[in-house]
């Protein structure tokens, strides 16, 4: 069973296609979503749709009976302040607690959680993390609701490893930490494309040239989830309770430069370079303006704020040697194929 909620990074149709095509042993795929779309589902005889909300334990209980594994990617992704901290925590933390409770009550033996690189960083101080791995030390500091909620949820999942489930088995849990995800119909990429077209096809570059980031194709993220579920069933003692960075062969590059690699075939190119200090000042100003307007009940949630600037401007790239070693992970889609599929999506 796969649950999704308010998480646009890996669309439901991609999960469905990949799981059905790459997992011939899969007898039935159940999708729990706020608004499942039957038009995106092939092989309806192997797929069941469950409209529901992870904050409602009853919806999970109805979907999980007899399931062999749960892939839990439901999340409220908000780094712009569009939702209250309470709303973010309700979905990401309470929802995860409910998933764990429902798995244990239904006797589900495997739970794979879609975490995030942001449970580690970048931190707001701008400390770099360059091609690090799961053992690389980093001064993690959470000040925003989204990364804080993801860190709390990941901890809940990993602490649930080994807990008894109905029927006498023990729950095996893993957490995967994708870097910045890209892929077909990604809403942020579509927004950047529209803005680029509005600027005549040339996008100003605002980030430091050394702000290297790792990005990962959504299809490879879904593929690692499938491999993680298989490993959890085959080698629970060695992989249970572990976390893994999730990356592929996409080039390391600053966010803007990487987006240009994806959007270049659509006619978007790099424009003039804006001094990073000016962008940092604008991010700070947006943060102050948001706080002031909020006191008067005025909603203001720009894409650029102190947190998103810290994330985008801080070098943060990872390696996946642990996933290769423990899960047998190799990217299913090459960089060239991922780029082509994204541009054509």
**Domain holding 167: CATH number?**
3.40.50.720
Domain annotation covers residue 66: yes
pLDDT tens sequence across 148-184: 999 999 999 999 999 999 999 999 999 999 999 999 8
Domain annotation covers residue 207: no
Known catalytic residues are: 146
Domain annotation covers residue 161: yes
Work out whether strand 180-182 and strand 129-132 pair parallel, antiparallel, or are unpaired: unpaired
Is residue 94 within 8 Å of residue 326, measured between CB atoms?
no
Res. 224: pLDDT tops 70: yes
Domain annotation covers residue 276: no
Res. 37: pLDDT tops 80: no
Q: How many domains does the chain have?
A: 1
- Backbone phi, then psi, for 113, in 5-degree steps? -110, 130
Model pLDDT, residue 6: 53
pLDDT tens sequence across 226-278: 999 999 999 999 999 999 999 999 999 999 999 999 999 999 999 999 999 99
Domain annotation covers residue 226: yes
Band (13; pLDDT cuts 50, 70, 90): low
Question: Taking residues 302-319, what's their average pLDDT?
Answer: 94
Q: What angle do CA 182, 184, 185 make, to 5 degrees?
A: 100
Domain annotation covers residue 300: no
| Calpha distance 141→129 (Å, rounded) | 13
| Long-range CB contacts for residues 13-19, cutoff 8 Å, separation at least 24 | 13/37, 13/40, 13/41, 14/183, 14/184, 14/218, 14/219, 14/222, 15/71, 15/73, 15/222, 16/40, 16/41, 16/42, 16/47, 17/42, 18/219, 18/222, 18/223, 18/226, 18/332, 19/222, 19/226
- Taking the model in full, what pTM does it have? 0.94
Model pLDDT, residue 2: 63
Domain annotation covers residue 259: no
pLDDT tens sequence across 176-206: 999 999 998 888 899 999 999 999 999 999 9
Band (26; pLDDT cuts 50, 70, 90): confident
Model pLDDT, residue 187: 87
The residue assigned the tokens 């009976």 is 65
pLDDT tens sequence across 68-117: 999 999 999 999 999 999 999 999 999 999 999 999 999 999 999 999 99
Model pLDDT, residue 202: 94
Model pLDDT, residue 344: 80
Domain range holding 112?
A: 2-182+215-249+316-333
Res. 123: pLDDT tops 60: yes
């Amino acid at each position: 069973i796969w649950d999704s909620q308010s998480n646009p990074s890996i669309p439901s149709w991609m999960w469905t296609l990949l799981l059905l095509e790459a997992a011939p042993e899969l007898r039935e795929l159940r999708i729990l979503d706020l608004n499942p779309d039957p038009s995106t589902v092939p092989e309806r005889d192997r797929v069941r749709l469950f409209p529901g909300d992870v904050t409602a334990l009853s919806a999970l209980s109805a979907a999980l009976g007899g399931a062999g594994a749960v892939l839990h990617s439901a999340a409220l992704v908000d780094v712009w302040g569009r939702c209250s901290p309470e709303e973010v925590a309700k979905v990401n933390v309470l929802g995860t607690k409910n998933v764990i409770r429902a798995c244990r009550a239904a006797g589900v033996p495997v739970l794979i959680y879609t975490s995030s690189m942001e449970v580690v960083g970048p931190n707001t101080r701008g400390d770099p993390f360059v091609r690090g791995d799961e053992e690389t030390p980093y001064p993690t500091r959470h000040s925003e609701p989204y990364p804080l909620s993801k860190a709390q949820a990941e901890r809940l999942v990993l602490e649930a490893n080994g807990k008894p489930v109905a029927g006498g088995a023990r729950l095996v849990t893993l957490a995967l930490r994708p870097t910045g995800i890209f892929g077909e119909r990604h809403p942020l990429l579509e927004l950047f494309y529209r803005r680029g077209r509005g600027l005549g096809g040339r996008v100003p570059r605002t980030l430091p040239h050394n702000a290297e980031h790792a990005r990962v194709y959504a299809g490879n993220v879904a593929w690692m989830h499938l491999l993680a579920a298989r490993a959890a069933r085959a080698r629970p003692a060695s992989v249970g309770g572990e976390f893994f960075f999730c990356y592929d062969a996409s080039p390391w590059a600053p966010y803007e430069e990487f987006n240009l690699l994806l959007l270049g075939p659509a006619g978007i190119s790099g424009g003039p370079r804006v001094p990073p200090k000016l962008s940092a000042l604008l991010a700070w100003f947006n943060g102050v303006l948001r706080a002031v307007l909020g006191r008067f009940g005025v909603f203001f949630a720009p894409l650029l704020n102190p947190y998103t600037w810290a994330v985008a401007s801080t070098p943060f790239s990872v390696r996946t040697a642990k996933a290769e070693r423990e899960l047998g992970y190799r990217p299913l889609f090459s960089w060239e194929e991922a780029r082509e599929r994204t541009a054509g999506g």
